[in-house]
Amino acid sequence: MKLGPKFKIAKRLGAPIFEKTQTQKFALSEARGGRMKKRRPGQKSDYSKQLTEKQKMRFSYGVAERQFRTYVNDAISKKGHQPIAYLFARLESRLDNVVYRLGLAKTRQMARQMVVHGHVTVNGRKLSVPSHQVRIGDTITVRDGSKEKGLFTTLADDHTPAGVPNWLSFDVKKMSGEKKAEPVFEASEALFDPQLVLEYYSR
């Protein structure tokens, strides 16, 4: 999915949704912009708020509009599940996102490229589909033929165990991880409001 300048998109949406904007430089830029722009309260319509949250969520995961709409429609129509929990779990369980969450890649875009180029296996089988849904018990491993390549030679030194969420486990020596549970949405940690996203597509 091709996007414009990520700094400008993040500033327009008012949230550091891309890894490159999760920096002190971006925070300072936002602070300066906040002092310069004084918006009147209530200026945004409900539609505008919903659209903004939809863009934040979609861009965060780097998913194309058509596929994102499919995820949302499934979440709305799925019986026996909470729509927000279901939508969040589907996005977080994408193979490219799991590779990113395991700390194998610094960005979701890099993780997507790793998957597409065949550097990752799921349960011992090479997969090159970023949207593949990782299930509980699945093992995600760097392919043996890729472990000595530049992408992974410094992984043991650069990896941050604390960054791996508790629904995943990871063995940096084996370059292998496992999905132990379904991811749980935490509103306090999110950069977007899924409820407004569901409302946008339910209009």
Whether the pLDDT of residue 203 is over 90: the answer is no
DSSP string, 67-112: HHHHHHHHHHH-TTS-HHHHHHHHHHTBHHHHHHHTTSSSSHHHHH
pTM, rounded to two decimals: 0.81
Task: Give the total number of structural domains in the chain.
Answer: 1
pLDDT grade for 32, boundaries at 50, 70 and 90: low
Note down the domain range covering 122: 94-179
Quick check: is 108 in a domain? yes
b/e code 16-54 from CB counts within 10 Å (16+ = b): bbbbebeeeebeeebeeeeeeeeeeeeeeeeeeebbbbb
Quick check: is 55 in a domain? no
Quick check: is 103 in a domain? yes
Quick check: is 142 in a domain? yes
Quick check: is 30 in a domain? no
Quick check: is 115 in a domain? yes
Quick check: is 86 in a domain? no
Number of neighbours of residue 194 by Cβ within 10 angstroms: 21
- Confidence at residue 17, expressed as pLDDT on a 0 to 100 scale: 60
Quick check: is 134 in a domain? yes
**CATH code, domain with 123:** 3.10.290.10
- Confidence at residue 35, expressed as pLDDT on a 0 to 100 scale: 44
32 vs 173, more confident: 173
Report pLDDT digits (tens) over 168-196: 999 999 999 999 999 999 999 888 999 99
Per the listing, tokens 């596929």 go with 67
